[in-house]
Amino acid sequence: MGTDEARLVRWLDLLGELLREPLAGGLPTDVINAELLGTFDAYGAALHCRDPSGAHSLRAWPERFTETRLEPLRATADTQPIARWYRATRSPAPYTLGRVPRTIADKRCVAAWAELSRPFGVTQLLCLPLHVGIAEHRILVVGRPDRDFTDADLELARLLQPVLMAWSVRPSNWPAGNPEAVRPVPPW
């Protein structure tokens, strides 16, 4: 079995274990994020949320990346290269910073992001959207220094995305009497 298949098998094993337990409380973030860090050889991971009012929140792992420590990155929440790509394309698909076309984020934009993010050990990002709305989103972000994510990484992210999206919508959030009208909510 190749490395890519082994990573997928690890996720299937993990998900099988997690499904044996009640899902009270939503996604088991510590377990999921530890696996994301290992799977994608990443330095950090985060859940980035933007609410309809435009307010941003960020919950990062490992826990040494507190929101206060990451405050300098808040200014780039809507302007860094991958944010520009999602805004321009409105795509709900996983994507990487290294694939953002220069017509969306020119060299100056990419260099500014790298300069600001390098002290945090993260210059490359892989994003896995859990919910993308017109004015809001919830996106899992995995980051590492200098080396873009591979096509195999992106394909694995595409395979994992539906499961992580489904997990972020809990039955306790179904409107009374209408389980068909599930509304996505942050599981954290």
Q: What's the average model confidence in pLDDT over 125-149? A: 87
Is the pLDDT reported for residue 184 higher than 50? no
- 25 pLDDT tier (thresholds 50, 70, 90): low
Query: What kind and span of H or E run contains 141?
Result: strand 137-144
| Cα–Cα distance for residue pair 23/12, rounded to 1 Å | 17
Q: What's residue 24's pLDDT? A: 61
Identify which of 185, 164, 186 has the alpha carbon closest to the alpha carbon of residue 174: 185
- 34 pLDDT tier (thresholds 50, 70, 90): confident
Is the pLDDT reported for residue 180 higher than 50? no
What does CATH list as the number for 3-169?
3.30.450.80
Neighbours of 60 (CB within 10 A): 22
Can you give the residue ranges of every domain in the chain? 3-169
Q: What's the average model confidence in pLDDT over 118-124? A: 87
Write the pLDDT tens digit of every residue in 37-50: 999 999 888 888 88
Identify which of 70, 94, 86 has the alpha carbon closest to the alpha carbon of residue 150: 94
User: What order of strands is seen across the sheet that includes strand 124-132?
Assistant: 56-61, 44-50, 137-144, 124-132, 95-96
- 126 pLDDT tier (thresholds 50, 70, 90): very high
Which pair of tokens denotes residue 69? 């420590």
Which pair of tokens denotes residue 33? 């994020």
Q: What's the average model confidence in pLDDT over 114-132? A: 88
For the entire predicted model, the pTM comes to 0.80
With tokens 């792992």, the residue in question is 61
Is the pLDDT reported for residue 141 higher than 80? yes
20/162: higher pLDDT: 162
Q: Out of 88-97, 110-119, 179-188, which region has the weakest mean confidence (pLDDT)?
A: 179-188
| Cα–Cα distance for residue pair 163/43, rounded to 1 Å | 23
DSSP 60: E
Q: What's residue 174's pLDDT? A: 38
